[in-house]
Structure 1
Amino acid sequence: MSNTSWAIDIDRDDITQARLVSDPATPLVAGQVRVHVDSYAMTANNITYAVFGKPAGLFGNDLGYWDFFAEPGEPGRLPVWGFAIVTESAAEGVSVGDRFYGYYPMASDAVLTVGKAGPGGFTDITPRRTTLPPIYNQYQRIEALADYRAADHEYWPVFRPLFLTGWLIADQFDDEGDYGVQQILIASASSKTAIGLGFALKQRADRPETIGLTSAANVDALAAQGIYDRVISYDQIMTLNASTPAALVDMAGNGAVTRVVHSHFGSQLLASIIVGKSHWDAQADVEGLPGPERQGFFAPGRSQKRISDWGGAVFGQKIAEAWLAFMDIAPRLASVDKRSGGDAALAAYREMLSGQADPRTGIVVVP
């Protein structure tokens, strides 16, 4: 299928059922552009998108992640972050050859509807997308990205959306006075979102201790990265001082780990934040948990709050400064594993879904 456009269809009710399909081009209508996806990343974050593909209340309406790139009743098309080049345009302000960073379907090509095109990029105004969070609908010209460096190109799809989420979580802790805690436990600490959180927290002089929680096999390698103050294995949680006020940030939605932490700290656990659900098949096991009620973290909502607080320019400047500092160390945190074509894309999805992907690599698919 290498010589034709392809896409990966996923069963909306069973995310393990995915297949590679041909995706013939259809004529554009006025206002649309066709793009060829240059590259995108496959991360645990994408599995969270699949888990919440069907409506789950995240967007304040009856839409889910499947609704970005597929009409109701059609198989799901998984959203991914990456770069694309315009191959055909019927829209003013966007030309063939223009390159954009943004949100695309797991496919070789995509059709987008251009609104508000300008020097910085455009907003997709496909009807089903207009009620979704704006951050997902913005396509940024590479030349207009103030913090884009060619040397970092392959790390953008791997780290950018995950780092932004981690940075926003750290900002929420700062904004909330760290919830009054002295230690922040970060589960699935080898995940790229967790690393972004740990890095952002480390930039603060006055902050709680950060403790990365990971599997025993990952402890030494993760500790050597110097992102967290301490790294321990899940079976060492009970050795932590339960009288020291703590917060839990759960990156993967593993109910067993959540229960151990809540049970160990009880009333001294002052905040419990769940970010992702990459452990999609893990038993939730959250009924009757001692300690605080778990709260979900939704990055687009936090972004909108800070844009409202600071203005878009200041928000962008803060992100750019943090991102460039992180990019200076990113190559030592993860290597890039490039894979080409539709078959490789499907295999990458299945690998990530199985939980077997190496967290020390970033899978980049080149359609």
Structure 2
Amino acid sequence: MNDSGWAIDIDRDDITQASLVADPPPPLQSGQVRARIDSYAMTANNITYAVFGKPSGLFGNDQGYWDFFAERDAPGRLPVWGFATVTESAADGVAVGDRFYGYYPMASHAVLDVGKAGPAGFTDVTQRRKTLPPIYNQYQRIDALVDYRAAHHDHWPVFRPLFLTGWLIADQFEDEGDYGAAQILIASASSKTAIGLGFSLARRANRPETVGLTSAANVEALAAQAIYDRVISYDQIFALNAGAPAALVDMAGNGAVTRSVHSHFGNNLKASIVVGKSHWDARADDNGLPGPQRQGFFAPGRSQKRIADWGGAEFGKRIAEAWLAFMAVAPRFAAIDKRRGGDAALAAYREMLAGTPNPKAGIVIEP
């Protein structure tokens, strides 16, 4: 790929079809900045973004994740979390050399429309993004992040969005009186979001038992991490005490696991929460499930609720405190696997789509 930049285009109707393309930089308009993407993470969370790229009702309107970085008549550009440095600016309040953490396209560069620029960062005000969740449109100056530590730099894009989701799920459980459950079953328990949830629940003084559900090959290693009270394999679900009220948190949208849990607990399953769809090709198998109706968890909506409840400053303070506690142990959960360039980025996307990455690694792409 030439020096003018690259991007990865994804077929909106078939997310297995992706290609590396040249992406020459367009001239900047007034109010825009061009940023070089320094690094970003590739996680199962990004596959969820691709699955919900087209409008699905997730945002309460006719938009989906493709609308962040591509017009409707163009191929999809997958959103990723990472760091970038401004290389050209036509916007007041943002200078060349400024560095930001935020939401970027899977590409070497990004053009952003700057609004509300200040010491903490800015908001992207591209017209199509104005009706999308605000949390995705905020670009935070690295120097202004109170809980940023240079030693944690590579772990930020790998864990930060997923930890925040896990922390918000734990907060919702506490807010809802744990739905009356005595045990919380967490499927895909080796995933980074699940680890964030398990860690956050473990910090509570009074809480239900946490049970991590994973494949048989992962049980021993995951149990040794002491994130959950117990770790069992999927084929041991029917050995759980069905008389103890339970709640299920499904991190991957795997229909077979969901059906096993619902069938075993029936009406003693008090909540069934779907968080992600990394098992994008697994059959949903929701018809006729005993027990509660499945409910989706949407982290941006929960964030907005808590910002309204607590105020932005208090919300940020609580996240910072929880994040720094997590970062004291996070490196043991995932070693950083750095890869460089467009070809490596495309390969990492395909690897994640196939579900083959090492769960003990955090993939970081340096474009």
The answer to whether TM tops 0.5 is yes
Secondary structure of the residue that 2:48 maps to in structure 1?
Answer: helix
1:218 and 2:215 equivalent? no
Kept after mapping to 1: 8 A contact 2:4/2:25: no
Distance 1:323 1:194 in 2: 15
- Distance apart, 1:271 and its partner CA: 0.2
Kept after mapping to 1: 8 A contact 2:2/2:22: no
Cα 1:2–1:157 change in 2 (3 A) is farther
Secondary structure of the residue that 1:318 maps to in structure 2?
Answer: helix
* 1:66-90 superposed Cα distances (whole Å, 9 cap, x missing partner): 0000000100000000000000000
Secondary structure of the residue that 1:279 maps to in structure 2?
Answer: coil
1:204-283 correspondence runs (5 A): 204-283=204-283
Secondary structure of the residue that 1:16 maps to in structure 2?
Answer: strand
Match of 2:52 in 1: 52
Distance 1:338 1:224 in 2: 26
Match of 2:325 in 1: 325
Q: CA RMSD, aligned part only?
A: 0.5
Distance 2:14 2:31 in 1: 34
Cα 1:240–1:2 change in 2 (3 A) is farther
- Distance apart, 1:2 and its partner CA: 5.5
Kept after mapping to 2: 8 A contact 1:2/1:341: no
Match of 2:164 in 1: 164
1:179 and 2:179 equivalent? yes
- Distance apart, 1:3 and its partner CA: 2.7
Secondary structure of the residue that 1:91 maps to in structure 2?
Answer: coil
Distance 1:244 1:33 in 2: 55
One-letter amino acid of the counterpart of residue 355, structure 1: G
Secondary structure of the residue that 1:157 maps to in structure 2?
Answer: helix
1:119 and 2:108 equivalent? no
Q: Number of residues paired by the alignment? A: 367
One-letter amino acid of the counterpart of residue 283, structure 1: R
* 1:199-251 superposed Cα distances (whole Å, 9 cap, x missing partner): 00000010000000000011011111110000000000000000100000000
Distance 1:56 1:159 in 2: 26
Kept after mapping to 1: 8 A contact 2:339/2:364: yes
Structure 2 alignment gaps of length 5 or more = none
1:80-159 correspondence runs (5 A): 80-159=80-159
Kept after mapping to 1: 8 A contact 2:34/2:112: yes
Distance 1:171 1:246 in 2: 17
Kept after mapping to 2: 8 A contact 1:253/1:275: yes
One-letter amino acid of the counterpart of residue 161, structure 1: P
- Runs of 4+ with deviation above 6 angstroms: none
**2-11 vs 269-278, which moves further:** 2-11
Kept after mapping to 2: 8 A contact 1:48/1:278: yes
Match of 1:31 in 2: 31
